[in-house]
Amino acid sequence: MTSVLSVNPGARPAPAFLDGAPKQLLIGGTWRTAASGDTFDTLDPTTGGVLSRVASAGQADVDAAVAAARRAFEDPSWANITPYQRSRILLQVADVMEANAEELAVLDSLDMGGPLWMTRWLVNHSVEVIRHYAGWPTKFYGQTAPSDSDAFHYTLRQPLGVVGAITAWNGPVLQVAWKLGPALATGNTMVIKPAAWSPLSTLRIGELLGETDLPPGVVNIVTGDGAVTGEALTNHPGVNKISFTGSLGVGKRILEVSSKDLKRVTLELGGKSPTIVFADADLAAAAKGAVAGFAQGSGEGCVAGTRIFVHESVREHFRELLIEEMKAYALGDPFHPDTRMGPLVSDQHFERVSSYLDVARAEGGNLTTVGETRDRYMPPTLVENVGRDARVVREEIFGPVAALMTFTDTADAIAQGNDTDFGLAASVWTTNLETAHRVARGLQAGTIWINTYAEMSAGTMPFGGFKQSGIGREHGTDVLDAYTEVKSVMIRF
Ligand code: NAD
C-alpha cells in the first residue's frame, strides 16, 4: 500500500524572498502596500503554517495599477521600441527566470504543495515558453491584400492595450508565463492578479523583472481576493482584455462583467477529460498514463483524465494494472525526493474533494482508495459502478479521483467521451492508427493525446477548450491574434 512518507515535514527550505516582510503590490515599477493597509496570509499546505503576509489590493490599488499599465503602454520606451528590442527583453526575462528557477520552484512547492520535481519541470517549461515568445516580435506579420492598381490594401496587427491576467493557484509560474510571453511579445502591458492561495512565485517574478530592461509599469502585480481584486480588474474600464485561467463559475462571471464594455476575453477553464483505452493498446503503458492523468499533481490539474473508459473485453485486466500503478503514487512532503503527490492546496479544498467521495458513495459507487487519507493528504481513488449522470462523472473534482467505465466499440467510445459539458483534453490508447485518427477527429476537446498524457508544447501547439472548458486558445499562432486587433488600411492613390 502507498504510505504517507513524511507528513510531518522535515526542515523547510527558506528562500531569501520569505524574509518575514509582508509582500507588496508592484505598481508602476515600485513596490507598495495596499492603500487600505490590508493583508492576507498565504499558507504552506504541508505544515499549515503561514509563509508570508501579502498585500490585499482594493479598488484604489487596481486603479493605480491600471493607470500605470496605461502610461507604460503609451510610453515610447515600450510603444516605440523595435521588434528586436522587444525580443531581447523577453530573452532577458527568460534568462533571469532560468537563473532563479530553483527558487521559483521551491516557492510554488511551498505555496501550493506540488512535489518539487513537478514544480521544477513547470518552471523549466515556463522558461522555454518565454523564449518561444521572444522569437515572435520579429516574425509576426500583417498582410497585403489584393486591390486595384490605384490602391494599396494592407493589414496591421496592433496590441490591445492593458491586459488583466488572472491566474489559478495550481500552476502559478506556468500560468503567468503563458500569459506574459504572448502579451508582451505583441506589445501590450499587464496587470497580473495571481490566486490568493499561491501568489508568491508571481511576486518573485515581479522582482526579477526589475533586473531586466522591461520599462516600469509594463508589468504590474496586484494580489488579493478574487471577488474584490479580480472583480475590480475585470470591471475596470481601462482594461482592454482579460486573460483568465480558473474555474467555470468564475469564468462565467468574468464574461458577464466584461460584457459591460465588451472587453476581449480569453477563458482557460476546467475539464472532465476522458482517457480511452482500446483492447489493442499497450495496457501497461495505458495504465501508467491513466493514473498519471488523474493522480499526478494530486489531480489538481485542468487536464486531469478523470473519466477512464476501457474496452469491456479487457476491463478486469486493465483494472488490476490501474490499482497496481496507483500503489506507486507515494504521498508525502513536496520536498521528499520519492514523493509523487503532495498535500492538497488547502483545508477548504481537501474538504471539497472529500465531499465528492461521499457523493460517489451516496450515488452507489464502489470506491478503491490506495493509500492513507490524512490531514490535507489524499491518495488516488478509483470509483466504479457509477452511471453517466453521476456527479463524480459530470463535475470537475480537482483532486485524485477518477471514474472507471467501459465502452463497446469506437462509436460508443467517442459518444461517451463527448458526454460532458467540458472539452479541454482527452487521451486515447491504441496501436491501431485508424482508430487513433477516427477517435481524435470525433472527440470534442481542444487537445487529444494519443498514447501519451499531458504532454505540453512550449508554445507551439494551441491549448484551450471546446464547450465549457473555455473560450479562445493560448499558444500557437491563435494566441497572437488573441492579444492583438487587426486593422485594415486602404489607401487610394
Ligand atoms: P478560481 O476560478 O476560483 O480562481 C481563479 C482566479 O480567479 C483566482 O486568481 C481568483 O482569485 C480569481 N477570481 C475569483 N473570483 C473572481 C471574480 N469574481 N472576478 C475576477 N477574478 C476572480 O479557480 P482556482 O480554484 O484558482 O483554480 C482551479 C480551476 O482552474 C479549475 O477549474 C481548473 O480546471 C482551472 N484551470 C484551468 C486551466 C486551463 O488552462 N484551462 C489551468 C489551470 C487551472
Do 264 and 296 lie in one domain? The reply is no
For residue 108 the three cell numbers come to 510554488
- The pTM for the full model equals 0.97
Q: CA–CA distance from 207 to each of 68, 219, 243, 261 (Å)?
A: 17, 11, 22, 32
Residue 11 lies in a domain: no
Report residue 156's pLDDT band, with 50, 70 and 90 as the boundaries: very high
Residue 459 and residue 267: Cα distance in Å, rounded? 17
Residue 6 lies in a domain: no
Residue 339 and residue 335: Cα distance in Å, rounded? 8
Please name every residue paired with 382 in a beta bridge, in sequence order, or none if there are none. Answer: 368, 402
Residue nearest to atom 42 of ligand 1 (CA): 302
Residue 299 and residue 116: Cα distance in Å, rounded? 16
Report residue 11's pLDDT band, with 50, 70 and 90 as the boundaries: confident
pLDDT digits (tens, 9 = 90+) for 230-253: 999 999 999 999 999 999 999 999
Q: Is the pLDDT of residue 163 over 90?
A: yes
Please name every residue paired with 144 in a beta bridge, in sequence order, or none if there are none. Answer: 154
Of ligand 1's listed atoms, the one at least distance from the Cα of 270 is: 34
Q: What are the respective helix, strand and coil percentages of the chain, to the nearest 5?
A: 40, 20, 40
In the set 103, 231, 268, 474, the catalytic residue is: 268
Instruction: Give kind and range of the element (H or E) at residue 66.
Output: helix 59-74
Do 359 and 474 lie in one domain? The reply is no
Is position 256 annotated as part of the catalytic site?
no
For residue 430 the three cell numbers come to 491504441
Backbone angles phi, psi at 37, to 5 degrees: 80, 0
Report residue 12's pLDDT band, with 50, 70 and 90 as the boundaries: confident
Region 341-362 average pLDDT: 97
In the set 103, 231, 300, 302, the catalytic residue is: 302
The burial of 13, by beta-carbon neighbours within 10 Å (0-12 exposed, 13-18 middle, 19 or more buried), is given as middle
Chain-centroid distance, C-alpha 2: 28
Of ligand 1's listed atoms, the one at least distance from the Cα of 196 is: 11
Q: Is the pLDDT of residue 128 over 50?
A: yes
Which residues are CB-contacts of 343 (< 8 A; sequence separation ≥ 6)? 45, 46, 113, 298, 331, 334, 350, 375, 376, 377
Question: What percentage of the chain exceeds 90 in pLDDT?
Answer: 97
| CATH code for position 259 | 3.40.605.10
Predicted local distance difference test score (pLDDT) of residue 6:
59
For residue 95 the three cell numbers come to 534568462
Do 139 and 91 lie in one domain? The reply is yes
Of ligand 1's listed atoms, the one at least distance from the Cα of 193 is: 9
> Pocket residues for ligand 1 (CB within 6 Å)?
166-171, 193, 195-196, 226-227, 230-231, 234, 245-247, 250, 253-254, 268-271, 302, 396, 398, 424, 470
Residue 85 and residue 63: Cα distance in Å, rounded? 29
Q: Residues 187, 78: contact at Cβ < 8 Å?
A: yes
Residue 339 and residue 324: Cα distance in Å, rounded? 17
Do 265 and 278 lie in one domain? The reply is no
| CATH code for position 278 | 3.40.309.10
Report residue 450's pLDDT band, with 50, 70 and 90 as the boundaries: very high
Do 222 and 141 lie in one domain? The reply is yes
Region 309-335 average pLDDT: 97
Q: How many CB atoms lie within 10 A of CB 364?
A: 10
Do 477 and 340 lie in one domain? The reply is no
Q: Is the pLDDT of residue 99 over 50?
A: yes
Predicted local distance difference test score (pLDDT) of residue 197:
98
Predicted local distance difference test score (pLDDT) of residue 146:
98
Give the side-chain half-sphere CA count within 13 A for 209: 28
Do 67 and 83 lie in one domain? The reply is yes
Q: Residues 450, 282: contact at Cβ < 8 Å?
A: no
Q: Is the pLDDT of residue 3 over 70?
A: no
Region 137-152 average pLDDT: 97
Report residue 375's pLDDT band, with 50, 70 and 90 as the boundaries: confident
Residue 157 lies in a domain: yes
Report residue 7's pLDDT band, with 50, 70 and 90 as the boundaries: low
What is the 3-state secondary structure of 422-470? CCCEEEEECCCHHHHHHHHHHCCCCEEEECCCCCCCCCCCCECCCHHHE
Q: Residues 335, 8: contact at Cβ < 8 Å?
A: no
Do 165 and 308 lie in one domain? The reply is no
Residue 148 and residue 492: Cα distance in Å, rounded? 9
Residue 53 lies in a domain: yes
Predicted local distance difference test score (pLDDT) of residue 357:
97
Residue 200 lies in a domain: yes
Domain count, the chain: 2
Is position 74 annotated as part of the catalytic site?
no
Rg of the chain's alpha carbons, rounded to an integer?
23
- Among 176, 200, 247, which is best to mutate for testing ligand 1, by the most ligand atoms less than 8 A from CB? 247
Residue 172 and residue 395: Cα distance in Å, rounded? 23
**What three-state secondary structure class fits 471?**
strand
Region 456-471 average pLDDT: 97
Predicted local distance difference test score (pLDDT) of residue 5:
65
Q: Is the pLDDT of residue 149 over 60?
A: yes
Residue nearest to atom 11 of ligand 1 (CA): 226
Residue type, 200: L
Residue 64 lies in a domain: yes
Do 386 and 435 lie in one domain? The reply is yes
Residue nearest to atom 14 of ligand 1 (CA): 226
Predicted local distance difference test score (pLDDT) of residue 222:
99
Region 291-299 average pLDDT: 96
User: What spacing in Å lies between the alpha carbon of 248 and ligand 1's midpoint?
Assistant: 8
User: What spacing in Å lies between the alpha carbon of 260 and ligand 1's midpoint?
Assistant: 21
The burial of 53, by beta-carbon neighbours within 10 Å (0-12 exposed, 13-18 middle, 19 or more buried), is given as middle
For residue 293 the three cell numbers come to 492523468
pLDDT digits (tens, 9 = 90+) for 197-233: 999 999 999 999 999 999 999 999 999 999 999 999 9
Predicted local distance difference test score (pLDDT) of residue 4:
60
Do 106 and 123 lie in one domain? The reply is yes
**What three-state secondary structure class fits 145?**
strand
User: What spacing in Å lies between the alpha carbon of 251 and ligand 1's midpoint?
Assistant: 7
Q: Residues 243, 179: contact at Cβ < 8 Å?
A: yes
Q: Residues 464, 473: contact at Cβ < 8 Å?
A: yes
Region 455-478 average pLDDT: 97
Residue nearest to atom 9 of ligand 1 (CA): 195
Do 261 and 295 lie in one domain? The reply is no
Predicted local distance difference test score (pLDDT) of residue 1:
42
Q: Is the pLDDT of residue 8 over 80?
A: no
Domain span including residue 148: 17-269+470-492
Residue type, 476: G
Do 247 and 311 lie in one domain? The reply is no
Mean pLDDT of the chain: 97
Q: Is the pLDDT of residue 480 over 70?
A: yes
Residue 465 lies in a domain: no
Residue 8 lies in a domain: no
Residue type, 19: D
Residue 222 and residue 350: Cα distance in Å, rounded? 27
Q: Residues 307, 274: contact at Cβ < 8 Å?
A: yes
